[in-house]
Structure 1
Amino acid sequence: MSSIISLNDVITGALQHILEAKFPRCEYRYNIKKASAKGDNYIGEVFRIFVEVNANRDKQFKLILKLPPQNLIRRKQFFARPCFLRESLAYEEFLPIVNTFQITKGILPINPQSFHEYAECYYTLTDEMNEAIFMEDLCDKNFDIFNRFEQLTMEHVTLVLRIYAKLHAVSFAIKDQKPELFEKFRDIKDIFQQRKDDSQLAVYFEELKKSTLACVYENDKSHWNKLHEYFEKSTFFELILPLIDGKLNEPHAVICHGDCWNNNIMFKHENEKVTEARLIDWQIMRYASPITDLAYFIFSCTTQEFRINNYELMLDTYYREFEQHVKRLGSEPKNLFSRDTFNTELKKKGAIGLLLAMIVLPIATTKTENAPNLEELSEKIEAGATTDLVGAGFLSDSNVYDYTKRMREVVLDVIDLGYI
């Protein structure tokens, strides 16, 4: 066996376990190459493993390996271990429960009406410093990440909204019919809740407020005043925590994907048309209102022009699929999350779309070649430096126009919709 990138004995042993189970009594060799570009992944590293079976170049197996950073300071600053434990929980426990529950209702994974839009996980490791996730290589099935600098089409958006609707629907149905299966997930402590006492992160988030205000032009005084008034009420943590706290959002809290931006959704295209999508990166999976996923995706992944033309249609698309899937699973949507309740919750919690966009849009508008060196950034923060978007390397001449335009548009829309 050979590897271009070396692994330690624990992770190599896990890989051999997977391959021996998949190819019993076969000889195989593999090599490993980095699979992610600079700036694509902030919590860990992604590698592609190429496996050749019985020296047959035509019989190849590919899989993805996700590892946390080994740099101790970066691990700490980017909260790598808790995020890997969260994603392992998703693959090892939550998604299998979803799959089994749907099967008991006669909805098989091959059924397009099922919630099945995630990668198959082969193995996870959760020991400290040896965390790892092995999963199927979706690129080998012609899935790819959509270029975040291009505009999603209505077909892309509709597909994603239906996927999130099915995810939330199956969560509601399990809570309704098999509540004991959900007890463990009700106690998930959100990543933001875990980090609420991080003083340096708190400073960074307060700087995000200033950057966001700066995106609203002076001649747009009414929107600026409204945003300023909203920000002055509380700290960033105090604004966001009630919106994502599962216990505060009962009885309408569900398992949410959590990190709903372009780089975490893969699409398959055939004949220039999008046919399927998959959700990846469950590292911020949370127990919260379904509005969290919905607003995050809409305000971080679509343009203002798109929202102006399609906002109500997006809401209708989401709720129609949600309603249908809850019924397929044998529960009554009016009792669990009626359309009136959905509309009310959107008004009460729509501000989460702004708060999460404030975090992700600087990253989403940063081109690969301009992404910051995360080890250097981590060491800078560890040394006690407080930073803003410019200091962190997420805002520069290369992306200031795109960031300012998109952030301003989110602010205008969230205010005009009455969410703040």
Structure 2
Amino acid sequence: MTLNNEVPNIDEILGERIKTGLMKVLKSQSSLDNIKLSFEPGSKKGANFMGEIYRIFYEDANDSENKSQTSSLILKMAPRNLMRREKLRSRHIFLREIDMYDKVLSYFHGFQLSKGVDPKENGFNEYPKCYSSISDDLSESLFLEDLLRRKFEMIDVRKEPVTFDHMSLMLKALGKFHAVSFALKDQQPEKFKELANLAFEQYWTMIDSGYSSFYLDALKRLTDILEMEKRSDLLEKFNNAAGRDHFSNILRMISSEAAEPYAVICHGDLTTNNTMFCKDEQGKPIEIQLFDFQFTRYASPVIDLILYLFCSISTELRNQHYEEFLRIYHESLSDLVRRLGSDPQTLFPFERVLDQLRKIGVYSIYVGALLLPILGSDPDKLPDIDNEASNKNCFQVAAESRKAYNQKVIDMFDDLARFQYI
């Protein structure tokens, strides 16, 4: 098999180790002997701060009339920039995602099959295929299914709101993801402990140890909006809920100890940037895929719920369907736990979902300080992280978006107060 490369500096882009890994994947996915290869960016500018993503197209190089069908896959690579690798702990982050695909999700798949549940039919299978991975230092990579080939797309929240149908699909998939943890924890506690140990906290320990001033600036920008909008009532409620030591409070909320016996392996970063939807001919979302498992953590399941409920949807959608959303999630979780052979009422009754939300709801504000500016920003105006990794202003909201952004922040605080989470 040979390559006909049409991208300049391909050796610089990939490196020998990743090229070798790519060749092995292409050989396993194709019977072609001579491959024509081309690349394009696999994500929008600024959409993936933790790595580099390429969409790789491959076809028969001997087909001069271009009759062969072009196939594609996604290559996700750790950055080579040494400063970025050190600051963002890129190797550890990529090894986490490799472990998730190679060890956790693969075991989840086999466990479901062993209990008579076909993941593709009615179990948890809402994530892209991982064809292969590389864990070598400076070449950490994942070769993943290209979801665009199955007509999955991300939501552009600046142009399209998250709807009830989007949320319903997300909550059902999330419920099934958490259900496998609960059933496995119940039936194979030692094996589950082994897998859960792979999901130790990385994100907030990284922030606490290397970016504390950066983060506290971001949090202050968020709470300053309350003062600017004369909502001292909300600021007081947040301060009362948060206490004086923000990082101690965050680490307490995301700890598995605080969540037991209800801790599960969480996605950890479940937002509109890490979900894709497929629509029917009428434009209705009918399928979902979850991806980007770099910040998984063993913690309370409501950690995943919070990111979508309070950082990704409008206050109108939240207010109209909030309890219904919780029911959709819990019913999906309970259904799969039951089919896997355990009792959901014992493992995670609905009342405990509400309890966990009351204990951890304020986490929405902590994560929102970083997440809300990213989700509301124009991708074309996000910074080059290689050049601005230490720039404290890199997540500030553009002036033209400020009014809408401020209202979104006020809405989040208002709703958290109304639900008595702050």
The answer to whether the Cα contact below 8 Å between 1:245 and 1:287 also exists between their aligned partners in 2 is yes
Q: In terms of mean alpha carbon deviation, does 409-418 or 260-269 score higher?
A: 409-418
**What residue is the counterpart of 1:16 in the other structure?**
23
The answer to whether the Cα contact below 8 Å between 2:359 and 2:421 also exists between their aligned partners in 1 is yes
Correspondences of 1:312-323 after superposition (within 5 Å): 312-323=323-334
The answer to whether the Cα contact below 8 Å between 2:271 and 2:312 also exists between their aligned partners in 1 is yes
DSSP-derived class of the 1:315 partner: helix
Tell me which amino acid in the other structure corresponds to 1:124: S
1:269-296, CA deviations, whole angstroms, 9 ceiling, x for partnerless residues?
Answer: 1111111010011111111110100111
1:141-186, CA deviations, whole angstroms, 9 ceiling, x for partnerless residues?
Answer: 1011111222111111100001100000111001111122212233
Choose from 124, 129, 146 the match for 2:133: 124
**What residue is the counterpart of 2:153 in the other structure?**
144
Q: In terms of mean alpha carbon deviation, does 51-60 or 32-41 score higher?
A: 51-60
Kindly state the Cα deviation for residue 339 of structure 1 after the two structures are TM-superposed: 1.4
Choose from 279, 287, 291 the match for 1:280: 291
Correspondences of 1:279-318 after superposition (within 5 Å): 279-318=290-329
Q: Distance in 2 between matches of 1:210 and 1:196?
A: 15
Does residue 337 in structure 1 map to residue 348 in structure 2? Answer: yes
Choose from 385, 394, 397 the match for 1:395: 397
The answer to whether the Cα contact below 8 Å between 1:358 and 1:407 also exists between their aligned partners in 2 is no
Kindly state the Cα deviation for residue 227 of structure 1 after the two structures are TM-superposed: 2.0
The answer to whether the Cα contact below 8 Å between 1:258 and 1:285 also exists between their aligned partners in 2 is yes
The answer to whether the Cα contact below 8 Å between 1:166 and 1:321 also exists between their aligned partners in 2 is yes
Q: Distance in 2 between matches of 1:43 and 1:19?
A: 25
The answer to whether the Cα contact below 8 Å between 1:371 and 1:394 also exists between their aligned partners in 2 is no
Moved over 4 A (4+): none
1:38-85, CA deviations, whole angstroms, 9 ceiling, x for partnerless residues?
Answer: 111110111011111363442322100001221111122223222111
User: Could you say if the C-alpha distance between residues 55 and 299 of structure 1 is closer, same or farther in structure 2, counting changes exceeding 3 Å?
Assistant: farther
Q: Distance in 2 between matches of 1:279 and 1:55?
A: 37
DSSP-derived class of the 1:103 partner: helix
**What residue is the counterpart of 1:46 in the other structure?**
53
Aligned residue pairs: how many? 408
Tell me which amino acid in the other structure corresponds to 2:157: R
Kindly state the Cα deviation for residue 95 of structure 1 after the two structures are TM-superposed: 0.6
DSSP-derived class of the 1:331 partner: coil
1:86-131, CA deviations, whole angstroms, 9 ceiling, x for partnerless residues?
Answer: 11011101111111111112221320x2110000001111111110
Q: In terms of mean alpha carbon deviation, does 246-255 or 172-181 score higher?
A: 246-255
The answer to whether the Cα contact below 8 Å between 1:185 and 1:287 also exists between their aligned partners in 2 is no
DSSP-derived class of the 1:278 partner: strand
DSSP-derived class of the 2:4 partner: coil
Tell me which amino acid in the other structure corresponds to 2:163: T
The answer to whether the Cα contact below 8 Å between 1:119 and 1:280 also exists between their aligned partners in 2 is yes
Choose from 70, 93, 104 the match for 2:80: 70
**What residue is the counterpart of 2:407 in the other structure?**
405
1:179-215, CA deviations, whole angstroms, 9 ceiling, x for partnerless residues?
Answer: 222122332321135325525x111221123112122
The answer to whether the Cα contact below 8 Å between 2:73 and 2:145 also exists between their aligned partners in 1 is yes
Q: In terms of mean alpha carbon deviation, does 219-228 or 313-322 score higher?
A: 219-228
Tell me which amino acid in the other structure corresponds to 1:51: Y
**What residue is the counterpart of 1:133 in the other structure?**
142
1:203-242, CA deviations, whole angstroms, 9 ceiling, x for partnerless residues?
Answer: 12211231121222554332122123344x1333212111
DSSP-derived class of the 1:63 partner: strand
The TM-score, its normalising length taken from structure 1, stands at 0.93
Correspondences of 1:210-229 after superposition (within 5 Å): 210-216=220-226, 217-229=228-240
Q: Distance in 2 between matches of 1:130 and 1:218?
A: 48
User: Could you say if the C-alpha distance between residues 399 and 185 of structure 1 is closer, same or farther in structure 2, counting changes exceeding 3 Å?
Assistant: farther
Q: Distance in 2 between matches of 1:194 and 1:168?
A: 23
Gapped regions of structure 2 (runs ≥ 5): none
DSSP-derived class of the 1:59 partner: coil
Q: Distance in 1 between matches of 2:334 and 2:32?
A: 48
The answer to whether the Cα contact below 8 Å between 2:182 and 2:264 also exists between their aligned partners in 1 is yes
Correspondences of 1:203-282 after superposition (within 5 Å): 203-216=213-226, 217-231=228-242, 233-271=243-281, 272-282=283-293
DSSP-derived class of the 1:176 partner: helix
Gapped regions of structure 1 (runs ≥ 5): 382-386
Q: In terms of mean alpha carbon deviation, does 302-311 or 72-81 score higher?
A: 72-81
User: Could you say if the C-alpha distance between residues 194 and 221 of structure 1 is closer, same or farther in structure 2, counting changes exceeding 3 Å?
Assistant: closer
Does residue 169 in structure 1 map to residue 179 in structure 2? Answer: yes
The answer to whether the Cα contact below 8 Å between 1:50 and 1:62 also exists between their aligned partners in 2 is yes
Q: Distance in 1 between matches of 2:334 and 2:409?
A: 32
DSSP-derived class of the 2:70 partner: strand
The answer to whether the Cα contact below 8 Å between 1:143 and 1:267 also exists between their aligned partners in 2 is yes
Tell me which amino acid in the other structure corresponds to 2:224: A
The percentage of counterpart residues that share the same residue type is: 31
User: Could you say if the C-alpha distance between residues 230 and 212 of structure 1 is closer, same or farther in structure 2, counting changes exceeding 3 Å?
Assistant: farther
The answer to whether the Cα contact below 8 Å between 2:153 and 2:276 also exists between their aligned partners in 1 is yes
DSSP-derived class of the 2:120 partner: coil
Q: Distance in 1 between matches of 2:156 and 2:171?
A: 18
The answer to whether the Cα contact below 8 Å between 2:259 and 2:356 also exists between their aligned partners in 1 is no
The answer to whether the Cα contact below 8 Å between 2:263 and 2:300 also exists between their aligned partners in 1 is yes
**What residue is the counterpart of 2:33 in the other structure?**
26
